[in-house]
Structure 1
Amino acid sequence: MAYLFVALTILLTVYGQLVLKWQVGVYPHLISQPFSLQNIATLLLKPWVISAFAAAFGASLCWMAAISKLPLSRAYPFMAVNFFLVALLASWLFREHLDAYKIAGTAIIMVGVLVLSRSVG
């Protein structure tokens, strides 16, 4: 069950990041200069932005459940999966450039996660 909570944390976090990227792309004028509290408030009240913040809150709840059952040193390395998923999905959804350096760096992170997950204790 603990790993289900870790997976939910990852999925909700990735969802939130992708939705926020999408929404600031849809409404770039709301975060452009000059800085305006009214523009930020308008953006924060968009339904998709609210859903992204709700996902972040849900991810926090799942994370608390996960670390109540797993040592933090065992659970935390799995958060690196966020790098992989966000990079992959951002390249697909937003046409962000995914070059050899980003792929290699992400692969190194994933290998590190595998090594750390094999740790006993």
Structure 2
Amino acid sequence: MRRFYLFGFLLLMAFDTLAQISFKVAGSQALPVQASVAWLLRVFGQPWIYGAVVGYVGAFFTWMALLKHAPIGPAFAASHLEVVSVMLLSIWLFDEHLTVARVLGAIAIIAGIVCLGLAESREQPPDDEPAPARV
């Protein structure tokens, strides 16, 4: 089951990252932003907008598959790892700057996921032992 979680969350992070990066590229290539049909045509004329659609559709189906098995607390927290991956890729792709606040935020996200995962693993019974009945 751990392989399922590992693969699932890596796939979710990849789809979410693809969606965010694709939106950023498509949006930056469709500037200036205007409330017009011409602007919408520029946006949908960018191939990256379809990468965003693929990313969100893939993330949705991956998330639904993960929710069938993963505990909701750690799963919800881990689903936000794309914030860290997008930040790191933005440094490389868009020449964005890494600041102390961003590093501290990334550390807080990762620490929160680790804490929730550890707490959940302590509450889970071993695989061969049935879970206690809840009232």
Query: What is the TM-score of this pair, normalised by structure 2?
Result: 0.78
1:80 and 1:110 in contact (8 A); partners too: no
For the aligned residue pairs, the C-alpha RMSD in angstroms reads 1.6
Question: 12, 28, 32: which one pairs with 1:25?
Answer: 28
Structure 2 match to 1:56:
56
* Alpha-carbon distance in 2 for matches of 1:28, 1:38: 11
Structure 2 match to 1:10:
13
- Bigger relative contact order, structure 1 or 2 (CA pairs below 8 A, ≥6 apart): 1
Aligned identity (percent) is 24
Q: Unaligned 5+ residue runs, structure 1? A: none
Which structure would you say has the larger Rg?
A: 2
Q: Which residue identity is paired with 1:21?
A: K
* Alpha-carbon distance in 1 for matches of 2:25, 2:5: 30
Q: Unaligned 5+ residue runs, structure 2? A: 124-135
Q: Which residue identity is paired with 1:10?
A: M
Structure 2 match to 1:112:
112
* Alpha-carbon distance in 2 for matches of 1:84, 1:38: 34
Aligned residue-pair number: 118
Structure 2 match to 1:76:
76
Q: Summarize deviations over 1:51-104 as a string: whole Å, max 9, x none.
A: 211121011001000001112123111022111111111111101122111111
Equivalences for 1:90-101 in 2 at 5 Å?
90-101=90-101
* Alpha-carbon distance in 2 for matches of 1:40, 1:56: 19
Structure 2 match to 1:37:
37
* Alpha-carbon distance in 2 for matches of 1:64, 1:50: 21
Structure 1 match to 2:127:
none
Runs of 4+ aligned structure 1 residues displaced above 6 Å come to: none
Query: What is the TM-score of this pair, normalised by structure 1?
Result: 0.86
